[in-house]
Amino acid sequence: MGGTPMKAIVQVRYGSPDGLELREIEPPPIGDDQVRIAVRAASVNFADWGSLKRLPQLIGLLLRQPRTRVRGFDLAGRVEATGKNVTQWKAGDEVFGVGIGSFAEFAVSTEHRLAPKPRNLTFEQAAAIPVAGVTALQGLRDKALLQTGQSVLVYGAGGGVGTFAVQIAKELGARVTAVSNTSNIGLLRAIGADEILDYTHQDFAGHGRRYDVLFDLGANRSLRDCRRALTPGGVHVLAGAGTRIWPIVSRLVEAQLRARIGKQRIGTFLARVRQADLVVLKDLAEAGKLVPTIDRVYPLSRAPDALRYLGTRGARGKIVIRIE
């Protein structure tokens, strides 16, 4: 690229979004198996928040500066250049997926972590899908093995993963109960939830109904409460808890210490973004069965503000960064 600098959000220190700065740096080089994307939009995930907050607690005394300085995973944009071994993509192709350092004008990825951008979506909408959409898809389809006719409770349904989970569960043929706060009732009804529980007034563990799958995005209820909400053969899937790793660890330890009750199962997982699953999500979006919910869109220069808002845990759906 002739050394022309690009704008990027660079992490200069750990601890908070205050450690992020807009700078001009060299564009990322590409290897033989890589793709460089001119990024049009990116979205924010709790992994991005964790990269600011988690490391100081673990190795902050050993490292003064982040090793990966440009943050961001989700992206949508156009292919700018490809390595010599790349066969699927050419310059100008519109793509979405995940890469390295998407809070920038250019980012790199591999060809199998990208898919064609859904034709009916904007770049901002497409960028909202990858990590959250794949987490919902793999958690419900692969981990919970959700089947047509089953009932699923999505706990934390108003966030990025939750809004996708409601729609994907409906597409898989389930009856969906969404748990969120009062402000999200209209949104959840619009995206297809069959029933909505407002956790400020209703307790999913105490109202007597049981579900085949509990898709748990909150990680703040006891294992006992969650078991009370499951059928005898139900599945409790922990996903998308962001930086709150200790509630997940404590639950898994508790699950091992307690005697199993019937055939109930509990498990957690880490989603892996693969092209095949991105294509599934693309097809759903093009069929009108998956609509990204976007709360706010920030310009690249305000990416630190986007992360601050994410940290409030009050976002409805996804937060997107537009690269001008």
**Predicted pLDDT of residue 266:** 84
What pLDDT does residue 223 have? Answer: 85
Q: What pLDDT, on the 0 to 100 scale, is given for residue 68?
A: 57
CA gap 224, 26 in Å, rounded = 52
Give every CB contact of residue 172 below 8 A, 6+ residues apart in sequence. 140, 141, 146, 147, 148
**Tokens representing residue 53 in the block:** 């907050």
pLDDT at 267 (0 to 100): 79
What is the structure's pLDDT at 198? Answer: 95
**pLDDT tens-digit series, residues 220-235:** 888 888 999 999 999 9
Tell me what pLDDT residue 169 has: 98
pLDDT digits 0-9 by tens, 156-215: 999 999 999 999 999 999 999 999 999 999 999 999 999 999 999 999 988 889 999 999
132-268 domain in CATH 3.40.50.720? yes
Per-residue pLDDT at 58: 46
pLDDT beneath 50: ranges in the chain: 56-63, 241-246, 256-259, 261
Measured CA to CA, the distance from residue 237 to residue 240 in angstroms comes to: 10
Which pLDDT score is estimated for 59?
Answer: 44
Q: Which residues pair with 321 in a beta bridge?
A: 42, 298
The per-residue pLDDT for 56 is 45
Amino acid at 68: T
Quick one: pLDDT at residue 242? 46
Cα angle 116, 117, 123 (rounded to 5 degrees) comes to: 155
C-alpha torsion angle, residues 27, 103, 241, 124 (rounded to 10): -130
Options 3.10.20.30, 3.40.50.12780, 3.90.180.10, 3.40.190.80; CATH for 6-129+292-322 is: 3.90.180.10
Q: In angstroms, rounded to a whole number, what is the distance separating the alpha carbons of residues 231 and 215?
A: 13
Q: Where in the chain is the domain with CATH 3.40.50.720?
A: 132-268
- What are the start and end residues of each CATH 3.90.180.10 domain in the chain? 6-129+292-322
Structure confidence at residue 252 (pLDDT) = 52
Write the Ramachandran bin of 114: left for phi over 0, alpha for psi from -120 to 50, otherwise beta: beta
pTM: 0.90
